[in-house]
Amino acid sequence: MIWSKLTFGGFGRRFVEAIAAATILAATSAAVAASLMVVEGARTTLTRAISQDRPDIVQIKSRFNRALFETPRSGNLPPLTIPVYEPLINPVELERAAGSNQVVKRQSLFRNVVTGDSFLNIYVFGIDPDAERGLSSFSLARGRFLRREDRAVAVLDQASARTLGVDVGGSFPIRKADGNDLQLTVVGILDRLELRGAPPRSAEAPSLRPDSTFVSSGAFVNIHTSEDIFGRESLTDALVIARSAAAVPDLVAKLQEAFRLEPGIFVTERYSQYQRKVRDFVLTLALFSAVSIATVLLAGSYASNLLHDIYVERRRQYATLIALGFPPGMGVAPAVIFGLVLGLAAVAIGGLAALAFVPRTFAMPSLMANLGPTEPTFDWAVACCLVAIAIAAMSVGLASTLARLLREPVAATLSEASP
Amino acid sequence: MSQAFVSMRSVSKTYHSGRARVGALREVSLEIEKGEFVRLGGPSGSGKTTLLNLVAGLDRPDRGEVFVAGIDVGRLSGSRASKYRAEQVGMVFQSYNLIPQLTALENVLLPMLALGRTNEGRARELLDLVGLADRSDHIPSQLSGGEQQRVAIARALANDPALVLADEPTGNLDEQSAERVMGLLTSAVRERGRTLLLVTHDRDTAQTSDKCLEVRGGVVTSVAG
């Protein structure tokens, strides 16, 4: 009871100043928390961009042919105009240009498949199963995934399997380049897949998620099988994984140099876009950090000044405690506890206000054009900053009183005229 | 060789005010025996309070030694000095220095709290001793100056200290209150056989004190009672 009275009692008219200091600290905390939440949200967006965009990946793709169409063996369907890459990339040339960077080869082709009464236009992807699983996401509903040593086996998405009327163990024919059919045995059914850097959107077969570059349906075979179907080794597209994102510009230059005489091959990278996002993040960080720092300096110093007035008036109390035999640390403990309780309560209120009123998504188009909308996030970093503000305000407010008590004789304070 | 209860040997203390140096005490040596009542007089600014603060361990001498009950007070660290004050010293200030938000009883309990052993019964006894048993729940602003100083005396005796230091305890009181406070202080200390070092301008106390000292210009001299 005595300690609580020593800490929180007897403020008199200074109580109003304590409330004012707490209010200012709460408002400061709210502004700082809101700014830092935007920065944290932007950081999360950037982290997501790194994991999703994979700026370290360079894509090589052939031009796609919009005039390609397949005529079904039966029925009277109109010709299709569907984009499919042409197989123009020489894999040996690509390996040489990529150097020590990992090359993930692909052949994508479009086929119409007739099984019994069913007819389906389907993309067939020839992939390197081991390398591709590190880049794209395949979730099996049943069966198994492809293996490098497989021959004439396929993995299908559920919708395609249902349309073709096949399941694990079943088979369906694919027309090869030489005009013969190759029977592909289904070894696995996918319930979800996300293929990184897939061919462009088409109307019929590969359904894409909105705003996504991922193909979400198709038949997957390993690249040896697709070579059998295609009748050649040249690739339609490929991904080259740079050793680091920073190595991308050099890698792109080498690839462009290697294929400079082939106008139908394009080298695309996401590194530049990623760099713009980094720049956006840095700008966001700078702007909102500046807002935070300015707010802390202006409002925080005012709150500290109010606390200083309170502490100065109570200096005699702290000195009396020391004179009565309390260790100096215990003598000033009520001041420290009072400041911390006041400051922490204020920043807690400010933090809650920020959580309640900050918009769920935040965007400044002119500034964050590439970063897009960010979701302000309250995390431990923000909480630690708020606690630091409370401690800083208390420390700055208490500093002169503490210095006076600990550096000058306590007797000098006790001899001062009563306030 | 037996040592006096309070012993100061060639103690000097100088304060710095800007570039000016103010010599508060110069080569002061004195001895006070246990149980003695010593009156310390002298004009304002002569160094009386400085001497008291050095004995209390609230300040350190620039030169010389201050011993109280065999303890080298001038060389105590912060926490040891606090323990020394809590166990050995009771202080009465001219401006009372009561904690304004605490009741009279809680103010008396404070020194006990410093030692971690509060005894409300003893605190009430002490308030009874100074005639304030019925005012124990009053805060200082509800008490007169004389009453506040009586609470301060009860507080000074809370841990039954061997040495009581009083710095002009009647300086802010009217004549009647001053007389009562001084009577209470001296009788309470004498009854317990404690040592009292009293800074005062009141010449009447010279008759009841065992020893009278005079501080002038930082130099202590013994004067007849």
CATH number, residue B159: 3.40.50.300
Distance from CA of B111 to the nearest CA of A (A): 6
A165-194: pLDDT as tens digits: 889 999 999 988 888 889 999 999 988 877
Nearest-by-Cβ selection for B99 from A317, A322, A330:
A317
Structure tokens that stand for B6 in this block: 């309070």
Domain presence at residue B69: no
Q: B-chain residues within 8 Å CB-CB of A414?
A: 58, 93, 95, 97
Contact between B162 and B55 under an 8 Å Cβ cutoff? The reply is no
Each of the 419 residues of chain A gets a pLDDT tens digit; together they read 888 888 887 777 788 888 898 999 899 899 889 988 988 888 888 888 777 778 899 999 988 765 444 444 445 555 555 667 788 899 999 999 999 999 999 998 877 777 776 667 778 899 999 998 888 888 899 999 999 899 899 999 888 888 888 899 999 999 888 888 899 999 999 888 778 877 664 433 344 444 444 555 688 999 999 999 988 899 999 999 999 888 999 999 999 999 988 888 999 888 888 888 888 888 888 888 888 888 888 888 888 888 888 888 788 888 888 888 888 888 888 888 888 898 899 989 999 999 898 888 877 776 777 777 788 888 898 999 989 988 988 888 888 888 877 777 777 777 765 55
Per domain, the residue ranges of chain A are 2-51+276-414, 56-269
- Compute CA distances B134 → A5, A259, B96, B153, whole Å: 21, 103, 20, 16
Q: Would residue B165 count as lying in a domain?
A: yes
Q: Which residues of A have a CB under 8 Å from any CB of B?
A: 1-2, 5-6, 9-10, 316-317, 320-328, 330, 409-411, 414-415, 417-418
The count of structural domains within chain B is 1
User: Three-class SS string for B2-64?
Assistant: CCCCEEEEEEEEEEEECCEEEEEEEEEEEEECCCCEEEEECCCCCCHHHHHHHHHCCCCCCEE
Q: Is residue B83 part of a domain?
A: yes
Nearest to A326 among B82, B87, B155 (CB): B82
Of A1, A322, A418, the CB nearest to B95: A418
Domain residues for B86? 33-60+77-223
Structure tokens at B52: 């008291």
Compare B55 and A218 and report the one with higher pLDDT.
B55
A326, B86: Cβ pair inside 8 Å?
A: yes
| Residues A188/A193/A199/A205 CA torsion (nearest 10 deg) | 70
